[in-house]
Structure 1
Amino acid sequence: MSDVTASSGANGGLTALSVSLRAVTKAYDNGVMALGPLDLAVPKGEFISLLGPSGCGKSTALRLIAGLAAPSSGTVRVARHEGVPQPGHGIGFVFQEPTLMPWTSVRENVRLPLKLAGVMKHDANARVDDALASVGLTDFAEAFPRELSGGMKMRVSLARALVTDPDILLMDEPFAALDEITRFRLNNDLLTLWRGLRKTVIFVTHSVFESVYLSQRVVVMTARPGRIQADIRVETVEPRGEAFRTSAAYADYCRRVSAALAPSYSGQAVL
């Protein structure tokens, strides 16, 4: 039996946690066991990365947390801010593809979650402006997706996730398709945004380098069915920047994470 619970904190015992998964499994109708058992606890305001081989259930875990799918067994509990008027109940989701509406402007793409939630236009305008400013796209509010670079499209997707002021931000390989320079820039911008807003962030990636650079914790998952192989805390001086990316400490953490990930790849290169 499975249990998916939305809690406001004091009522549900999640006063220090944003997300709690206990003994969670997920089996699909075709018999594939995608996850589990998986145990994961994410404190409020923490930035963690889920790292693992393709098909290990990283994205499935995000979908369970978001309430887009139900676990086959175990308990998924999410502390949500009840005052946020939007369908995700305090969760913002950034997918690997921006999935923007090509026929309308950046502004209207970002406004969409508020429109669906019935937020009045005057209130929505201010929130859209704030979201666009937070990702550096104020000057592109009236542009169309076809006029944007890949990195700018992903910024629009991030603004759309932030416009509802969610407590929890779920990011499913959002920068995987971008060139390295753009990816590095967006990594830096995301960290700056996180430091300012202190959202709880759960970030899925295949990159050891990206996971270590971004995260306070790197949760390494096994091959399917996904379980936790290692949970590595990245202790560094904040704020992080290019000095950390080229430091001996960063290289050491990358080696540790890579070593934890290696068994899941059966001898294949993981970096």
Structure 2
Amino acid sequence: MAEPAALPGFETLRAGLAVSLRGVTKVYDSGVAALGPLDLDVRKGEFVSLLGPSGCGKSTALRLIAGLGAPTSGTVGIAQSTSGTRAGHSIGFVFQEPTLMPWATVRENVRLPLKLSHAQPAGANTRVGEALAQVGLTEFAGAYPRELSGGMKMRASLARALVTDPDILLMDEPFAALDEITRFRLNNDLLALWRNLRKTVIFVTHSVFESVYLSQRVIVMTARPGRIGAEFRIDAPEPRDEDFRTSAGYAGYCRKVSNALAPSYSGQS
């Protein structure tokens, strides 16, 4: 879990916003300009996908929002946590790899953020149970990572991010390594979870199809240094299901997003 208040540039935002980036750039010590300038607002409870080619700064932007680094210039604004603290556990992060401790059970892997924050055991047990139930892993609480499928490992990683009840959920290509059937199932489960919890979700992906299916808004980023090349609001009926995935409306959105993404892969921006 991130502690963004420890970094410069974090401020209280205007009502309704969860995240606000203003003029954000990132230049690494090697001299590589990875990102920006980037301006982006994300509303509370919104599901936004960042879509773009490899190396365009999608993950860099996510890590700056999480407080896992500081921008070279610009400001990163994060709304005050609804728990009343400025940072605390207001952000949950799901990485591309599950990064589970192989020697610990699913239950203990999910408990880790609470253990690190010295949560009371009774309350921690309740939160772990709730998080496992939210991702459908209650029956596998005592299993070890080696006993889980790839999809179940990612569910455990998601439960670990949810266990602190964060306001903002950052997801860095969490389903990229999964087979198509598992990926579709987890997409559906993630949308159901988002509808129930109404977290703010910022989701990084390479997949046009995944971004359109999941998101209220798709942000298409240019090739490095990443900037916003195009933005699409996906006005589709809720809840989204397989009917939407096979609809003409879905195909139309995918075509528009693909066309906007094409210049980034051809070296134009």
| Shorter-chain TM-score above 0.5 | yes
The CA deviation at 1:62 is 0.4
Q: SS in structure 1 opposite 2:232? A: strand
Paired letter, 1:182: T
The CA deviation at 1:3 is 4.1
The CA deviation at 1:87 is 7.6
Q: How many residues align?
A: 262
**1:72-151 alignment, distance < 5 Å:** 72-81=72-81, 83=83, 89-151=89-151
Paired letter, 1:242: E
Task: Note if contact 2:82-2:167 (Cα within 8 Å) is conserved in structure 1.
Answer: no
User: Unmatched 5+ residue regions in structure 1?
Assistant: none
**1:177-256 alignment, distance < 5 Å:** 177-256=177-256
Q: SS in structure 1 opposite 2:9? A: strand
Aligned equivalents of 2:25, 2:92: Cα separation in 1? 23
Paired letter, 1:4: G
1:207-248 C-alpha deviation (Å, 9 max, x unpaired): 000000000000000000000000100001110000000000
Aligned equivalents of 1:178, 1:102: Cα separation in 2? 19
Task: Note if contact 2:92-2:169 (Cα within 8 Å) is conserved in structure 1.
Answer: yes
Task: Note if contact 1:82-1:89 (Cα within 8 Å) is conserved in structure 2.
Answer: no
Aligned equivalents of 1:93, 1:26: Cα separation in 2? 20
User: Aligned pair 1:46/2:46, yes or no?
Assistant: yes
CA RMSD, aligned part only?
1.7
The CA deviation at 1:81 is 1.1
Task: Note if contact 1:85-1:117 (Cα within 8 Å) is conserved in structure 2.
Answer: no
Residues 91 and 59 of structure 1, relative CA distance in 2, 3 Å threshold: same
Task: Note if contact 1:66-1:88 (Cα within 8 Å) is conserved in structure 2.
Answer: no
Match of 2:28 in 1: 28
Q: SS in structure 2 opposite 1:102? A: coil
The CA deviation at 1:99 is 0.1
Q: SS in structure 2 opposite 1:22? A: strand
Match of 1:18 in 2: 18
Aligned equivalents of 2:145, 2:252: Cα separation in 1? 40
Aligned equivalents of 2:165, 2:116: Cα separation in 1? 15
Match of 2:3 in 1: none
Equivalent residue in structure 2 for 1:4, among 5, 9, 31: 9
Task: Note if contact 2:44-2:200 (Cα within 8 Å) is conserved in structure 1.
Answer: yes
Aligned equivalents of 1:186, 1:222: Cα separation in 2? 27
Report the more deviating stretch, 254-263 or 76-85. Answer: 76-85
Q: In percent, how many aligned pairs have the same letter?
A: 76
1:133-190 C-alpha deviation (Å, 9 max, x unpaired): 0000000000000000000000000000000000000000000000000000000000
User: Unmatched 5+ residue regions in structure 2?
Assistant: 1-6
Aligned equivalents of 1:95, 1:262: Cα separation in 2? 26
Please give the TM-score of this superposition, normalised by the length of structure 1: 0.94
Q: SS in structure 2 opposite 1:118? A: coil
Match of 1:264 in 2: 264
The CA deviation at 1:83 is 2.5
Aligned equivalents of 1:249, 1:267: Cα separation in 2? 29
